[in-house]
Structure 1
Amino acid sequence: MTTPIFVLGGEQSDFRDSWTTGGGGLHDLMAYTVAGALERTRLDPAAVQTAHVTNFAGEVFNHQAQLGGFVNRLYPEWADLPTSRHEAACASGSIGVLAAMAELQAGRYDCALVVGAEIMRHVGGQTAARRMGIAAWHEREVTDDRLPWPGQFSDIADAYAERHGLAYPHLARIAEVNLGNAKRNPRAQTRSWTFEPGAFTCDDTLNPVVAGMLRKQDCGRITDGAAAVVLAGEPFARRWARERGIALSSVARVRGWGHRGAPILLAEKLRLGATQKYLFPHLRRAITDAYARAGLAGPGDLDVIETHDCFTITEYVAIDHFGITEPGAAWQAVEDDVITREGRLPVNPSGGLIGLGHPVGATGVRMVLDAQRQVTGTAGDYQIDGATTAATLNIGGSFTTVVGFVIGT
């Protein structure tokens, strides 16, 4: 990347909290998280020149649109701040980060806020699952009694199994690792959860089938939550660092990015990859685009990954698409504990979506924030020692929108 964009810091809400229980809403959640981001970066509101809100389903879950206007009333200085809202299903957050980066690189502004927020816990699980089906082609894919996303990702697991083979214990191990990592994260939805022996097996009582090969522990949990990050161009970041006695070289920056799309129908995506090396060629290209822009040779140059794991099969697919293994050999990285905290390339030390929680429109922003924390040594109990280069991968729909970042110092 020729124009560096710096990640000054940010804040994340506690993903265990239910914001509607006490009468709160999207405005309150955003206000809390944005205030935290300004406090952590030690910035006055007047320093922010543009803001991007990321949210998947405010209209469906909260009867609320026009979320940029919520930002405009947070501080008097922001009453006429340029704001916009971005939606790309579960990849909404990363799309907002890309948009903010583009504004900074174009020289329109020097400092940008990106805040992702979602409130989804106030309805029952079945209702929430069906409402989330709007990210598939409703008239073509969401037509039977299956829950939309467990059904779609079960189909992905079947497609992977047909091509390469797939053993359930490898999926279960991913869930076990991520839920274990979440116990170290003070903001994780599942940090206090306990599991009986057999919970990560094919025990139909402790780990019942949800759809096809996917069982209860394979499924990420939606929740209420928000994350906010402050991005800046180099002149602003240089001043910011100097005023705080920080070396600019120690400030996290976006070293590379990749963004690809695909037809909304899963069947069309699978057809496009049918004769290719990778199940999802566009996913592989997004990752290699990020590597190339960052000047990386591949996953051997990474210290940590935060990847999408809305279901365990999503992370399983990501492992070989990152190039950690050859296509079809993701099981090797799982069996050899490559992806654990102590492994060669830790994946989802935050707990990921399965352990940390998945407030859909906030997830991509949260990933960038966690990457920033890792490479600046500020991730606390889930810090990976010596991490200086982190990658993220954020996925919307059935791999319809895919975005990856490389964050480093």
Structure 2
Amino acid sequence: MKIFKSPLLIALPLIIGLAAGCSGDKKEKEEQEEVQKQEAAVDTPAVQVFDLKKGILTSSIQVPGELAPYQQVDLYAKTNSYVKKLLVDVGSQVHTGQLLVTLDAPEVQSQLAEAKAKIAQQEALYLSSKSQYDRYINTAKTPGTIAQNDIDQAAARKNADYANVQAAKSFYKQIATGLGYLEIRAPFDGVVTARNINVGAYVGPSGKGSDQPLLVVQQQSRLRLIVSIPENYTAGLNNKDEVEFTVKSLPNQKFTAKVSRLAGALDSKLRAERLEMDVYNKSKNLLPGMYAEVNVPLPSHDSSFVVPKTAVVNSTEKVFVISIEDNRAKWLNVKKGLETSDSIEVFGPGLKPNIKLVMTANDEIRDGSPVISSAAKAVAPKKTAE
């Protein structure tokens, strides 16, 4: 029996084979092109660039600070004495000139009486010598009755006795002034924050407990906020700046203060400049000795180059940005200035307005390597940062 095959059936496998071969070649070609694109992307990476512009960046730093009384005085006894009356205690509000402590020193009263008697004694001697001198002068009006030498000696005695009177009076004033030291008064309006004596205690330069003050008085209605600013941030600070600060006891409340005093020099140990701000504490919520977190505004540089932080590379070799020239990367050494959360000031000899910089730079983009650039959307730097 003969079987006849159709020409179509005979050609069908051949057609299928040819189609499959063409399809395989096309797929292989596409895969090769994809590999070439990936290799080209590795060799010539695509990067986003932006135009370098100048701007003004304002930033701030947070530093710890301490609240101190605007004035504080430790009160001591100048004269050896006993505490006779104690009129205040810890926490007492006092006013300028208010009597705080009365001391008793019986020997001072004796010395005062002795000094008063000494004045009377010297005055009597002076009156006697002066009377004798006056008689000599009257007698000398008759020529030849009194020798000139006797008159000169009488004048010398009179002048010496007068000097002794003045000395006795000065000594009396000195003793009388000592009586004033037996009353201790407040030097300014404030609060008594420490008391180290009781009635009857012996006090004075050589008394028991003379190494510690009788009372400590602080002015708390006005405080000093003291901070130390690191050397890198001291340029341009002035006493017109205003700071904000918080304290742990009142975390939800912000306080403001104005810079009042700058040290004008760096501390030799901390390498920092001391700043003082006056804080008016009428509500008495703030206490001396509190620690504060202070937000200090930093001075801005006029018309400096400002770039996104992602454009600056901090490698082990150097700090640099990457510019694009003729589709090739070029490393430009820079120094960093003020920073915010997303922007930073940069300074360098190779920086010029409107040059193209890589938006997201890294040290894998080698100096001189080819790149493909595309414009990135400009991002305006934030004006301030905490």
Q: TM-score, normalised by structure 1?
A: 0.16
Bigger radius of gyration: 2
Higher share of residues assigned strand:
2
Higher share of residues assigned helix:
1
